[in-house]
Amino acid sequence: MSLAVEELAGANLKLTLLDGGSYTACSHRWIAWPDLSNRTLPENMETLPSTNHFDASARTWDCDPVKRARALAVAEGIRSLVPITPHMHALEYGCGTGLLSFALQPHLGHISLVDSSAGMLAVLEEKITANRITNMHPRQLDLVTDPLPAERHDLIYTLMTCHHIKDTTGLLRNLHALLASPGYLCIADLDAEDGSFHGQGFDGHNGFDRGALAACAESVGFRDIRFTTVFRMIKGEGSDSTEYPIFLMVARK
């Protein structure tokens, strides 16, 4: 099931299926969103590591309805392509405030959420507490630079994270190591673009060529690699607008 944002009205997100039809979701039916826009982050935030753009954006991250709609669309894509069960142990890498995991949480047994941003994790912990959720467990961790944890997972997923990491092969190799066998990897990210999505000064990837990413994943041991378009973001207005498709890659170990 592929979706794109058609209309954002209040708490309701009206999404258009790319293959026809529509779907309307009330955000409060899949998570009670705490109002964090005017709430200060922990007093010791200045002393916490990784105080960066993501730390600074954490308080208002969930206020963007496009980010919420995107997470919902990716969650629907994962559920349509992966045989998820309540017994699965999952890992979200680059979880941010947990938008994607909150959409998948009712369908999974245990979710580890890892991110390098202390600010994002502080907001995530508040949301978990506010919703009295017991199967989501956040942890500050960078899978590129930190030692890999010992736990293995049935499902690993990540949303709009991989294009920030220069060493794609190294990341995929680590994600493969963290998967149980059999296991599933789901990556949602930008298709290759001209650099206008982030603009000047961005030192990550300008999206990914699907064939090149599939070859990279295959080289570290993944198989049965599939792609689908799950979302489309639009920046700008009118004749100055640009569409950025978001793909979902699903691979097996």
Residue 19 in this model has a pLDDT that exceeds 80: no
Q: What is the pLDDT of residue 41?
A: 42
Mean pLDDT of 197-209: 85
- Residue 80 tokens read as 């349509």
Residue 30 in any domain: the answer is no
Residue 215 in any domain: the answer is yes
Residue 159 in this model has a pLDDT that exceeds 80: yes
183: CATH:
3.40.50.150
Please give the Cα distance from 132 to 34 (Å, whole number): 12
Nearest to 106 by CA among 71, 69, 135, 68: 135
- Residue 62 tokens read as 């969930």
Q: Give the domain extent around 82.
A: 49-252
pLDDT per position as a tens digit, 160-197: 999 989 999 999 999 999 999 999 999 999 999 988 88
Residue 200 in any domain: the answer is yes
pLDDT per position as a tens digit, 29-38: 334 444 444 4
Query: In Å, how far from its chain's centre is CA 229?
Result: 15
Work out how many domains the chain is built from and give that number.
1
Q: What is the pLDDT of residue 180?
A: 98
pLDDT tier for residue 54 given thresholds of 50, 70 and 90: low
Q: Give the strand pairing for 3-9 and 12-17.
A: antiparallel
The answer, as to whether pTM is greater than 0.85, is no
- Going 49 to 51 to 56 to 57, the CA torsion angle's sign is negative
Q: How many Å is the maximal CA-CA distance in the chain? A: 51
Residue 22 in any domain: the answer is no
Please give the Cα distance from 94 to 112 (Å, whole number): 11
pLDDT per position as a tens digit, 75-132: 999 999 999 999 999 999 999 999 999 999 999 999 999 998 888 999 999 999 999 9
Residue 184 in any domain: the answer is yes
